[in-house]
C-alpha cells in the first residue's frame, strides 16, 4: 500500500495522511466506508473515534463537533469484535478488518467517482488479501460500489435503509449492508446487531461461491 499516493492531486492538498485498511488480516468480516472520517485522517485508522473516546466521527451530513450518536466502535464492542479498553489509534479488533472506498479526505466534500476509481485497486487488493466471508458496506455509497462489483443483484435493486441488516449473497461473498452508524435510530442499531449476531451463529462460511441472492 502506497503511503504517499498522489493519484488524486486535489485530495493530496487536503489530507493529513493516506488511510489504508486496518484490522485482523484473517478476518471473516470486512467493513467498508465511503471515506476516512476526520479522526481517521488524523490517526490513520479507518472509522477512528475522535479525542481518544469510543465515539465515531459523524458522517459528512452531520456536524463534525457532534457529541452523541450511534457509533461503529460501540457496535463492534457489543458484538465482542473490538476490545473496549483499546486506544482509538490502535483498536483491538478480532475477526474484523476496516477500510474505505477512498484513502484520503477532503473535509468539505465527498469523493468524486474518479477518486473512488483511483482508489479501487487498493480496495480490491485488500479484499483479495483478507478474503473475507462477509462484506459490510457502511452507507449508501459503499453499498452501491460493492453491490456492482460483488453481487449479481442489479445495483438499482440495492438500497438503504431497505437492505439494512439484510444478507445479500453474491460473487463469492455475502453482503450485510449498514446505514451509516451516525444516522441510525436506536431501533435500526438494535435490528442490525440482532441480524449480525444471528449471522455470526450461522454457517456463514458456507456462503462462498454462491451467486444467488
Q: Which residue has the higher pLDDT, 156 or 195?
A: 195
**What's the whole-number mean pLDDT along residues 56-63?**
40
Among the listed residues 191, 194, 152, the one whose alpha carbon sits nearest the alpha carbon of residue 174: 152
Report pLDDT for 55: 39
| pTM reported for the whole predicted model | 0.87
Write down all domains in the chain, each with its CATH number in brackets. 9-201 (3.40.470.10)
3-state secondary structure of 174: strand
**What's the whole-number mean pLDDT along residues 1-24?**
90
If phi > 0 it is left, if psi is from -120 to 50 it is alpha, else beta; for residue 158 that is beta
Report pLDDT for 211: 39
Exposed, middle or buried: residue 122 (CB in 10 Å: 0-12, 13-18, 19+)? buried
Among the listed residues 177, 167, 173, the one whose alpha carbon sits nearest the alpha carbon of residue 206: 173
Q: What percent of the chain has pLDDT over 90?
A: 70
The helix or strand, by DSSP H or E, that contains position 134, with its residue range, turns out to be strand 134-137
The answer, yes or no, to whether residue 116 has pLDDT greater than 80, is yes
**What's the whole-number mean pLDDT along residues 165-190?**
92
Amino acid at each position: 500500500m502506497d503511503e504517499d499516493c498522489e493519484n488524486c492531486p486535489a485530495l493530496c492538498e487536503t489530507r493529513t495522511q493516506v488511510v489504508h485498511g486496518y484490522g485482523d488480516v484473517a478476518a471473516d468480516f470486512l467493513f467498508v466506508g465511503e471515506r476516512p472520517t476526520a479522526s481517521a485522517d488524523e490517526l490513520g485508522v479507518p472509522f477512528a473515534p475522535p479525542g481518544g473516546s469510543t465515539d465515531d466521527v459523524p458522517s459528512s451530513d452531520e456536524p463534525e463537533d457532534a457529541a452523541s450518536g450511534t457509533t461503529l466502535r460501540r457496535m463492534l464492542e457489543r458484538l465482542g469484535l473490538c476490545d473496549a479498553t483499546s486506544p482509538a489509534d490502535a483498536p483491538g479488533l478480532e475477526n474484523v478488518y476496516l477500510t474505505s472506498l477512498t484513502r484520503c479526505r477532503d473535509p468539505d466534500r465527498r469523493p468524486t467517482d474518479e477518486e473512488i476509481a483511483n482508489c479501487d485497486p487498493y480496495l480490491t487488493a485488500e479484499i483479495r488479501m483478507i478474503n473475507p466471508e462477509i462484506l459490510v458496506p457502511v452507507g449508501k455509497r459503499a453499498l452501491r460500489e460493492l453491490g456492482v462489483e460483488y453481487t449479481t443483484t442489479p445495483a438499482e435493486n440495492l438500497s438503504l435503509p431497505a437492505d439494512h441488516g439484510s444478507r445479500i449473497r453474491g460473487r463469492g461473498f455475502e453482503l450485510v449492508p449498514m446505514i451509516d452508524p451516525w444516522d441510525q435510530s436506536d431501533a435500526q442499531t438494535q435490528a442490525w446487531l440482532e441480524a449480525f449476531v444471528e449471522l455470526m451463529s450461522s454457517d456463514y462460511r458456507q456462503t462462498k461461491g454462491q451467486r444467488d441472492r
